[in-house]
Amino acid sequence: MNTIFNKEPVLRAEKSLKQFNADLKVIELKQTARTANDAATALGCKVGAIVKSLLFKAGEKFILCLVSGDKRCSLNKLKKILNEKDVSMANPDDVKRVTGYTIGGVSPTGHLIKIKIYIDENLKNFDSIYAAAGHPNAVFGIDFENLKALTSGETKEITE
């Protein structure tokens, strides 16, 4: 049977989740969660409770920003935080090479290359938040404090 649970990116995300907390589970959605709105509809939750995993390139470095689904990441705020003039969204090839995931399924954990992670403080407003788990139809639920611990992410004001 061909299931998303057989796919290497989902297995990698799940392994990373289980190493952190054996109770965390990957949820397979019947419909795509490629966008925050799609995920919120599929899960029956607020769009803000969806974690958007956005990879940015700053000079030669990459930064993953975990942003509330109802917010936009601010390039200007990122430039100030990083003290870097040249900050832009990473291209799809860089996203795949750095995280090991394709856009629409980028998990906050289980990356191929260790990257700095910033977490949008707006995600604190939700008891449960949901992030991609390696595939557009795979997500996992977690709370804010555990997301911080799982990713070793820094909470920052990164939205506009």
Domains, the chain, in order of start with CATH, read 4-156 (3.90.960.10)
For the cut 50, the answer to whether the pLDDT of residue 159 exceeds it is yes
User: Going by C-beta distance under 8 Å and a sequence separation of 6 or more, which residues neighbour residue 114?
Assistant: none
Considering only CA atoms, which of 100, 90, 78, 87 is closest in space to residue 154? Answer: 78
For the cut 50, the answer to whether the pLDDT of residue 1 exceeds it is no
For the cut 80, the answer to whether the pLDDT of residue 2 exceeds it is no
- Which tens digit of pLDDT belongs to each residue from 19-70? 999 999 999 998 888 889 999 999 999 999 999 999 999 999 999 999 999 9
pTM for this prediction: 0.95
CB 64 within 8 Å of CB 103: no
Considering only CA atoms, which of 127, 94, 107 is closest in space to residue 20? Answer: 107
